[in-house]
Every structure is written in structure tokens, then in C-alpha cells.
Structure 1
Amino acid sequence: MGVLSSMWTGITGLQAQGEALGVTADNIANANTTGFKASRAEFADVMSRSLKGIDGGNQMGRGTRIQTVTPMMSQGNLDNTDRTTDLAVNGNGFFTLKGTEGTTYTRDGSFKFDKGGFLVNNSGQKVQGFQADEKGKIENKVSDIKFPRALVNASGTKEVKLDLNLDSRNEANSKVFDPKDPYKTSHYSTAVEIFDSQGNKHLLNLFFNKGEDRTWTYKGLVDGKEVSDSPEGQDLAVVLEGKLQFTEEGKLNSQEVTNSALNFKGGAKQDQQIKFNFGDDIASGGKGIDGTKQFGKDSDVVSWSQDGFAAGTVTGLSFNDEGVLTASYSNGQVMDLAQIALAKFEAPESLFKVGGNMFKESRDSGPAAVGGPRMAGRGSVMSKSLERSTVDLASEFVNMISQQRGFQANSKTITTSDELLSEVIQLKR
């Protein structure tokens, strides 16, 4: 009887609207859940039979059902926080985590470092990324992000660069250098800092004297107490000798180190080799323009630099838009430690929710394509930020009203069918 079937049709409506209301309630409950993606219930009709074979337009419907619940993978708003390890993905991609449940994916970047130095989420799952080698170069191997270097190792100086002007007006050979009285027996002096192999800092005093044919000789002296072969009774010990030769235009023609004896005490490497670079000299294929020159102007140091440093402790951590974790150390060094890995899916709406703001790969989502941020369509990583839920409360309340009215309308179908059945029962009277 059609009256009975209409009652069962009404029941399908009640069930579908009730399940849709459950989806809406879940969205509202997660309005403040970090990285949550709102879902949408999508209905499909239920067909029973055709009245006239396969003729179109003569099918009998038997109600509705929830065909799918689809997560809406739109971008959520980003809120600023005060914690460096709070991360958000701006664009496509998911953070990759590993734990007891295997590999999972999330948009919730509420991370922190645990006692073992691993970057983890609130459930203790380890964030995956690309580790850097000892020189700070990111390696293409996915592993747990760990913060291993609270103390950066010292590095001895390997090169010193100097950009000077040596006054061409000085008279050649007008002074004879004496290491016992270097300041009065040199045309010009300056000092640079260098580090031995154990990171100990030493002050290297450089003294320059002008000779014939636009040639300058220089000597490097350090505190005699700092080197192992210092002459007795001499405050400063000669550890470096060399010469510079200039063209008539004042350009650097050639440079040469004639003697080097950097033998520092205290267990440091003996006979430490340091390259002293005074510029782009012509003899080495340069133009003699960049670096040290000889002009008719007071001798002066324009700039100098060296690449050594002492041991240092961490003073700060930061992430950039490419998800690279960088550490700043007390010795002034900055080193890359790791890079966040992001996973991209061809059908992210088909990911399987496992709770705790996490997803798992499914057959319909496709495999995870893991790589660095801002590559192959993956979004950037924002530090000190968290992605808000994509739930729009205004829209959810409108959906709730619509579902409530739909539930009431379907219940009216059932009560109407009940009244008709009551009329049928009354026919016997």
C-alpha cells in the first residue's frame, strides 16, 4: 500500500536530516579547534522502482540518504601567537607526523620540543622533516626533526679578507721594521681577530712597510705568550710575513705569504694554515680593483672579515617561509638545523579522519607527495601562527534551522500517513 511506503519514505528523511544535524553539531563543536576543516553533509535520493519499465519520468522515489560527508579543505584564517614552534600552512599541504599509529597528517601546527629534542605535537607524535648536515645544508632525507646542537662546535679561521689603502706617499725604505718596537718602525699598522682550531680568539697585529717598486712587506705579530715558539723576552712574536706589489695606477698586482708560523698553545692545531686575501690581484687573473689598493691617501682599513668562530650556545630559534628551522648562537653564528616536510594529496577531501586533528591516507585520497614548502604547489609555512577552524557559525546556524525544518516536515509526512491509515481502519464501521 502506498500509504505504508510513504511512512517509510518519511523515516528516511528523518534519519538523513538527523545525521546531517549531527554533522552540523560536530562543526559547531569544533569552531575553535585549531586546523579543523568543516564538513558538509551531501544528500542523495533513493529510487525504488519504475512504473512503466524503463520509461523516463516514471520512477518511484523512496526517500533520501546521506551519500557522503565531505570535509571542506579551504584555507582557514591565521592567528599570530608568541611561540616560535607554532606553525601554520598557508596554502596546500599537511604537516607529516609519525607515532605509534603510524604516519598521520594534520593542519594543526601546535608543536613543541620534547625532552629528547624532538619536535612533537600535543599527542607526542614526531614532526617529520629534512635534517641538515654539520655545515647546515638541508639533506633530501625525511626523518624526525630533532634539535641536536644546543652547543655549536668551534671553527678555526681559514681565511681572512682585508680591504686596505696603503698610502703611496710614504717614502720607500724610510723605516726598517723592528719586532721589538713595531709601531714606530712601520708605515702603517692595523689588527684583526683570528680563531685557533679550538675556538680561542687571538689578536693578530699587522704592520706594513713600503719598499722599492711599489712593493709593501707586512708582518703579523701576536702576543708571545699565545704561541709555542715565541722568543724569550719579546712581547710580540712574528707569526706571519708576506708582501704586496702594486701597479703604477695603485691596483693590486700580486700578493704573497712568504712565511707562516701560527703555532698556538693550549692544544690547538700547530702550524694552522690561514689564507690572507688582500683582494682580486692581477697576477691571479683578477683586475686589481676589489680589495687593497695603493693611493695617495692616508693608510686606512676599509673593511675586514674572517670565517672562524668560538663555541657558542643557542640564543634563539626561528622558522622561515620555507619551513627551515634556524638556530642563532651566542658566538654570532646562524645555522640551519632542519626543514619542515609538507605532504600534498591529489584528493585531500578523501583523507580519513582519525581524531586529534589528524588524517590518514586513504585509497581515494591518493598517496602523499612529500616535499619542501613552496615547492610543487605546496603552501608556505608561517611561524608564530596557527590556522583557525574553517567553521562559519552563521552558516552552521542557518544549516541547523534548515535541517530542523526538514526534520519537522518529514515527521509531518509520517503523521499524515498515520491519519490516512486511521481512515482506512474506520472503513469497516
Structure 2
Amino acid sequence: MGILSSFNIGVSGLNAAGSSMSVIGDNIANAGTFGFKGSRAEFQDMLSKSLKGIDGGDQIGSGVKLAHVTPKFNQGNIQRTENITDLAINGNGFFSVEAPGGRGFTRDGSFHFDKDGHLINGDGYKVLGFQANDAGEISQKMGAIKLGNTTIPATATSEVNVSMNLDSREKVKQFNPQDPANTSNFNTSFAVYDNVGSQRLVTVYFNKTNDGSWDYHAMVDGKDAAGGTPGTMVEMGRGKLNFNNKGELQEEITELNSFNFNNGAAPGQQINFNFGESIAEGGNGKDASTQYGSDSSVARHTQDGASAATLASLSFNDKGILTASYDNGDQRDIAQIAVAKFENNEGLFKMGKNLFKETRKSGQGAMGKPGDDGRGEVLAKSIELSNVDIADEFINLMGAQRNFQANTKTITTSDQMLQEVLNIKR
């Protein structure tokens, strides 16, 4: 060890300072990159010689070397946007995309849909998640997220659910289908749909036949009935409702169920009227329709039909579920974003393009749903900014510059000392 070795030590210091400058410069350059994770250069000293062997304490180093460039995975600030496909993970985890050569993982959630309906990132890589089936149920199978058809076909009504009360104080009436309004105790109307998606109005007339017994008649104006006369009601459904002495629904009986609409609708459409689970069906009678001594009224009703519809809008929730809203008021879940988590984020390998690749040090990415098992939630209309702190990087930059200047001084001083040695010979 001597003067010549000090040159090498100084050069190692220059190289280290240069590496540090490169890392800092890369951080600063990507301060505006969505989802970017800054890095830190870490160095180690190099031992050249121990003057007193293994038991001695007099050791001379031979400079410094770059040991690691470690990414920093602290959360970046989250900024709200107006783009429905901008997503941010608040917490641990990564989005996953189909990249060339395998899966890539990213915190950059600036996504959009391509012409084929795939959710993709800025480089066209497909975003992975869990696709829903036709019923809107999210599956457990991983795949590329894709919009299905932007239109949904009509659904014929097959069931009308009704929760209501029929007034026990009403008198018995003899029903006349030619004059239903004046020969019934109560009536209410429901909109239903035929198989081609046309909305039809069904009016249900209720007439008391005995204490605790009622008939219902589901009728349609002749203008909507096959072979009907406008203004004349046509009966297409009929049944009985029987109540016990507590006013609870004992049983319901269907006697007629065949709806024949006109204008191209399929004949014999079955529409079941469900007034709640009767005691005869195993219910308790309290959660079904009732016959109490109060005015007849409908508390609520639903039906399962719908007209054909076109996609109107899309939205994500904090579980990463993509929901489609249609112009007929229907909503359907399409897919759910997948979030990957790793045992060791710092073991991930930077691929460029805001992507990371899993390694043996990181462990395999465990794919799951947002918010599950330590994964962060997904924020819609939001984007995660770079986690680079410009002020800190400028301070680090000045430190690297000082280190570089100091090491150049080591080299110039060593050169001066070597010149003095050479001058001795002259």
C-alpha cells in the first residue's frame, strides 16, 4: 500500500459518487412519473490489507464500491382525477399486467380501454383481474379484464314479488271480469317485460271471497293482448290468497298463468306472482303479505324483467370492482382488479416502463382482491404520484457533488506527492 494505491482509492470514490449521482438523477427525472418508486444507492468499503494479521487492529482500506441500489416503496401521494380508469392502490400491493416475457407488476394505475374492450396500461399491456360471469358474480379465475358486450338483451319477466296488506274490514265482493274496477276491493298495477323487451302494464285486482280468503286477477288491457280489444281487460293470471285468523298468509294458490302479449311476443309467458313465503311453504307468515285491519296497500314490489339496454357508464369501487350501468337502469359487475403482494418488495427487479418483475428475493406475487390479507384498497378516479421528494434529492445531490470533489482532491494530492518522489531522483 502506498501513494499509488491512493489513486485507486480516489478513483473508487469518484465511481461511487458517479453512481450516486446517477441514482439521484434518475429519481429527479422521474419525480413526475405516475407510480414511480425512487431508489437509494448503498455503498460498502473495501478492505485491502491488515497490517497485523487477523488479530491486529491496523487495517488499510482500498476504497468504496456500490453494494446495492434499493428501491423505496413508501406510499406516494394520491391525486384525484376525472378519468374513471385511473386507479391507485392505497397501501400494500401492485397491479398486474401481461407483459412480454411474463407478468409485470406496477403501481402506475393510469389505465384505459382499447378498441377490443381490454383494460390496458400505457404500453398496451392487459391488466389482470377476476372476470364476472353473466350473472355479475365475480369468479376466482385470473385473466385479462375485458368489457363484454356493450348491450344486454331483453329479459322477460318471470316473477313479480309483492309485499302488501289486504284490508280485513272489506266486504265480500263478486268479481266481474267485464267490470274489474267496480267489482274488486283493491287493485294495483305493475310494469313487466315480454321476451322482446317491450314494457307491458299488468293490473292485479283483488276481491274478498270470504273471511280470510281473497282471489286475485292479473289483467292486461286489450291493446297489449294477442287478439285483444283496446279498452277491454283480458285476464291472464289468477290465484287465491288464504290468511289465518292472525292475518298471516297461510297459503297462495295459482290457478291461471299464461300471458299472451301481442306485437311479436312469445305466447304463454309465465309470470309468477309471489306474495311472500306462506306458512304452507315453511314461512312464518310474518314476512309475507298480510290481512290486517288497515287500508289495503302495497309496501314494495320487484320484478326480474328488463328491456334491452346499452352501456351508459362505467365505475370502479374501493374493492376494485368494475360496474357497468345501462340506460335501462340496470347495473352489472364486470370484473374485479387483482392486487399482488410480495414477501419482500425490495427484492423486485425494475423492468422499465414503470414495471417490476418478481425474483427469488421478492418471492412469488400472491394475487388476490383489494383489501384482502393485507392488500391495499383501490381508489377510483385517482392516481398515485411518484414518491420522490425533490427537496431530499437536491440535498443528496449536493452531498454526492461534495463527495466527488473530495475524491478528486485525493487524486490531485496523490499526484503531487508522486511528483515530489520523482523529483528526488533528479
Report the 3-state secondary structure (helix = DSSP H, G, I; strand = E; otherwise coil) of the residue aligned with 2:41: strand
Rounded to whole Å, the distance in 2 between the matches of 1:119 and 1:245 is 54
Rounded to whole Å, the distance in 1 between the matches of 2:198 and 2:230 is 24
Contact 1:159 1:276 in 2 (8 A): yes
Rounded to whole Å, the distance in 2 between the matches of 1:159 and 1:58 is 91
Q: CA RMSD in A?
A: 1.7
Aligned to 2:202: 204
Rounded to whole Å, the distance in 2 between the matches of 1:334 and 1:86 is 21
Counterpart amino acid of 1:272?
Answer: Q
**Structure 1 residue 301: deviation in Å?**
1.9
**Structure 1 residue 392: deviation in Å?**
0.6
The C-alpha deviation readout for 1:80-119, integer Å capped at 9, x for no partner, is 0000000011111111111445421111111001111111
Rounded to whole Å, the distance in 2 between the matches of 1:24 and 1:333 is 51
Q: How does 1:296-335 map to 2 (within 5 A)?
A: 296-335=293-332
Contact 1:229 1:263 in 2 (8 A): no
Aligned to 1:191: 189
The C-alpha deviation readout for 1:28-64, integer Å capped at 9, x for no partner, is 1111110000100001011112222222423321000
Report the 3-state secondary structure (helix = DSSP H, G, I; strand = E; otherwise coil) of the residue aligned with 1:381: strand
Q: How does 1:384-423 map to 2 (within 5 A)?
A: 384-423=381-420
Aligned to 1:223: 221
1:131–1:56 distance in 2 versus 1, CA, 3 Å: farther
**Structure 1 residue 415: deviation in Å?**
1.3
Aligned to 2:367: 370
**Structure 1 residue 356: deviation in Å?**
1.4
- Among 271, 275, 285, the alignment partner of 1:274 is 271
Contact 2:223 2:231 in 1 (8 A): no
Aligned to 1:42: 42
Contact 1:20 1:41 in 2 (8 A): yes
Counterpart amino acid of 2:111?
Answer: F
**Structure 1 residue 358: deviation in Å?**
1.2
Of the structure 1 ranges 186-195 and 358-367, higher mean CA displacement relative to structure 2 is found in 358-367
- Among 176, 179, 184, the alignment partner of 2:177 is 179
The C-alpha deviation readout for 1:252-297, integer Å capped at 9, x for no partner, is 2221111111123344343222221112322222222223222222
Rounded to whole Å, the distance in 2 between the matches of 1:299 and 1:362 is 69
Rounded to whole Å, the distance in 1 between the matches of 2:227 and 2:58 is 108
Report the 3-state secondary structure (helix = DSSP H, G, I; strand = E; otherwise coil) of the residue aligned with 1:74: coil
Contact 1:70 1:349 in 2 (8 A): yes
Contact 1:92 1:379 in 2 (8 A): yes
Report the 3-state secondary structure (helix = DSSP H, G, I; strand = E; otherwise coil) of the residue aligned with 2:3: helix
Contact 2:223 2:230 in 1 (8 A): no
1:195–1:50 distance in 2 versus 1, CA, 3 Å: same
**Structure 1 residue 309: deviation in Å?**
1.1
Q: How does 1:29-428 map to 2 (within 5 A)?
A: 29-172=29-172, 175-228=173-226, 230=228, 235-428=232-425
Rounded to whole Å, the distance in 1 between the matches of 2:405 and 2:280 is 94
Rounded to whole Å, the distance in 2 between the matches of 1:42 and 1:427 is 42
The C-alpha deviation readout for 1:388-420, integer Å capped at 9, x for no partner, is 101011111111111111111111111111121
Rounded to whole Å, the distance in 1 between the matches of 2:230 and 2:191 is 24
Count of residue pairs the alignment pairs up: 426
Contact 1:158 1:308 in 2 (8 A): yes
Contact 2:41 2:68 in 1 (8 A): yes
TM-score by length of 2: 0.96
**2:16 matched to 1:19?**
no
**Structure 1 residue 306: deviation in Å?**
1.2
Report the 3-state secondary structure (helix = DSSP H, G, I; strand = E; otherwise coil) of the residue aligned with 1:7: helix
Rounded to whole Å, the distance in 2 between the matches of 1:391 and 1:234 is 74
Of the structure 1 ranges 382-391 and 180-189, higher mean CA displacement relative to structure 2 is found in 180-189
1:8–1:312 distance in 2 versus 1, CA, 3 Å: same
**Structure 1 residue 238: deviation in Å?**
0.4
Of the structure 1 ranges 298-307 and 102-111, higher mean CA displacement relative to structure 2 is found in 298-307
Counterpart amino acid of 2:158?
Answer: K
Report the 3-state secondary structure (helix = DSSP H, G, I; strand = E; otherwise coil) of the residue aligned with 1:321: coil
Contact 2:221 2:230 in 1 (8 A): no
**Structure 1 residue 365: deviation in Å?**
2.0
Of the structure 1 ranges 279-288 and 104-113, higher mean CA displacement relative to structure 2 is found in 279-288
TM-score by length of 1: 0.95
Question: Structure 2 stretches of 5 or more lacking a match?
Answer: none
Report the 3-state secondary structure (helix = DSSP H, G, I; strand = E; otherwise coil) of the residue aligned with 1:216: strand
Rounded to whole Å, the distance in 2 between the matches of 1:294 and 1:426 is 120
Rounded to whole Å, the distance in 2 between the matches of 1:266 and 1:65 is 84
1:233–1:99 distance in 2 versus 1, CA, 3 Å: closer
Rounded to whole Å, the distance in 1 between the matches of 2:406 and 2:322 is 57
Contact 1:180 1:234 in 2 (8 A): no
1:426–1:240 distance in 2 versus 1, CA, 3 Å: same
1:356–1:220 distance in 2 versus 1, CA, 3 Å: same
Contact 2:49 2:61 in 1 (8 A): yes
